[in-house]
């Protein structure tokens, strides 16, 4: 077995070796979920399509093809289900989505953290609310268009692995799933090394009208893509100071929630740095409503502590070497991690940047997803106010 490859195992739900399953296919209205549903049906499973209505007023979410929460998207999903030849329903999960994803997103920013709503949606909606309802109705698995793979080891334990195509891998946003949820998850796109162009070509061959529909981007529930404006409308104006590491006032802001750690653009500082180099957001303090900025090297993080760990199987038994991913499209970095009093302690082999409280850290053992946790605190290589 080559390093970094999944262990020898039999496929998870949906493979030819498994019996015919009752499958609920979550269909967003995009090409990936449509092809995933078609593959599940072609494999001989009893597939039913469902589109999740996540807004009480779908017109207030994105229009066109930029999101997955519009009336247009539900119609695209229905047309795809008709072509595949499977039953189709729309399920209203708007209230649950508002409470568990949208309100959590706003609260996290208000607390000075940077959340990832896609992870929360997978954890609370697609593989909790949706899965629980599916199981109650007698379905065996929930199928989605995520690019990831579930394998079953000879001992029966399930593992989540990166997709065969690393360029399309979405295992990071699935790192919140536990083994029970993985037991009922089906990802038909994760086991084959196909590009997005291949998926679109397959959709065309199948007669699916979404074959050329653009991918969704950004946050589905922010209609115009203006995150700061979305937060301001809900949190109001909260003027405060932008300061340097010594506490000297450099400028003002209308809400600390409008900034993220590592941000460089949009600071609107009237006072240049003494060395003329750009300044970056180093810290966001909702307590005194201050945003601290400083040089790039002050962003170097050597270690972090993360809370609310979720494991895709057994948790780490002790300190061990892994790789970690810190953003949905970030690169792997070598780390040493251990679980201490219910918190995950992660030390980096080399300093990394762009690490913010509220983000998820996802651990990998080769291609296997070990688990994830929410970053609470970070250790900096350069102490704030140390004169850098």
Catalytic residues: 121, 220
Other CB atoms within a 10 A radius of the CB of residue 137 amount to 10
CA distance 294 to 95: 41
CA distance to 142, 196, 262, 301, 370, per residue, from 25 (Å): 6, 20, 38, 41, 26
CA distance 189 to 166: 12
Spatial CA neighbour of 292 closest among 263, 272, 265: 263
Left, alpha or beta for 130 (phi > 0: left; psi -120 to 50: alpha)?
alpha
Q: Tell me the three state secondary structure of residue 96.
A: helix
> What sections of the chain are H helices per DSSP?
31-42, 71-84, 94-97, 103-110, 117-121, 130-136, 179-182, 196-205, 227-235
CA distance 16 to 40: 10
Q: Tell me the three state secondary structure of residue 345.
A: strand
111: Cα separation from own chain's centroid: 20
What is the helix (H) or strand (E) element at residue 175, kind and residue range?
none
**266 Cβ partners below 8 Å, 6+ apart?**
none
CA distance 171 to 140: 21
Q: How would DSSP label each residue in 113-142?
A: ----HHHHHIIIIIIIIHHHHHHHTT--EE
CA distance 382 to 388: 8
């Amino acid at each position: 077995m080559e390093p970094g490859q999944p262990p020898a195992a039999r496929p998870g739900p949906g493979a030819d070796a498994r019996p015919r399953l009752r499958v609920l296919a979550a269909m967003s209205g995009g090409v990936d979920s449509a092809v995933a549903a078609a593959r599940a049906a072609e494999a001989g499973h009893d597939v039913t399509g469902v589109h999740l209505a996540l807004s009480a007023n779908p017109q207030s979410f994105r229009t066109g093809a930029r999101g997955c929460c519009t009336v247009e998207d539900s119609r695209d999903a229905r047309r795809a289900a008709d072509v595949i030849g499977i039953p189709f329903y729309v399920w209203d999960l708007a209230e649950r989505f508002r409470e568990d994803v949208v309100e959590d997103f706003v609260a996290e920013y208000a607390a000075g953290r940077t959340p990832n709503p896609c992870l929360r949606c997978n954890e609370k909606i697609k593989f909790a609310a949706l899965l629980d309802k599916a199981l109650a109705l007698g379905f065996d698995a929930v199928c989605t268009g995520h690019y990831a793979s579930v394998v079953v080891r000879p001992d029966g334990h399930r593992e989540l692995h990166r997709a065969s195509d690393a360029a399309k891998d979405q295992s990071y946003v699935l790192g919140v799933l536990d083994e029970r949820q993985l037991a009922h998850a089906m990802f038909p796109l994760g086991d084959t090394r196909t590009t997005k162009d291949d998926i679109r070509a397959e959709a065309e061959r199948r007669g699916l009208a979404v074959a050329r529909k653009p991918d969704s981007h950004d946050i589905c529930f922010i209609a115009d893509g203006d995150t700061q404006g979305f937060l301001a409308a809900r949190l109001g104006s909260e003027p405060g100071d932008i300061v340097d590491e010594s506490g000297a006032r450099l400028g003002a802001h209308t809400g600390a929630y409008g900034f993220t750690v590592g941000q460089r653009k949009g600071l609107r500082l009237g006072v240049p740095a003494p060395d003329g180099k750009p300044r970056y957001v180093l810290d966001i303090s909702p307590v005194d409503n201050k945003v601290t900025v400083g040089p790039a090297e002050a962003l170097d993080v050597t270690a972090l502590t993360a809370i609310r760990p979720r494991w895709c199987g057994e948790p780490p038994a002790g300190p061990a070497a892994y790789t970690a991913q810190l953003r949905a499209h970030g690169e792997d970095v070598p780390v040493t991690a251990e679980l201490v009093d219910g918190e995950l302690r992660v030390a980096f082999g080399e300093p990394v940047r762009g690490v913010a409280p509220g983000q998820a850290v996802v651990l990998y053992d080769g291609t296997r997803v070990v688990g994830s946790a929410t970053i609470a605190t970070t250790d900096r290589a350069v102490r704030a106010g140390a004169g850098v």
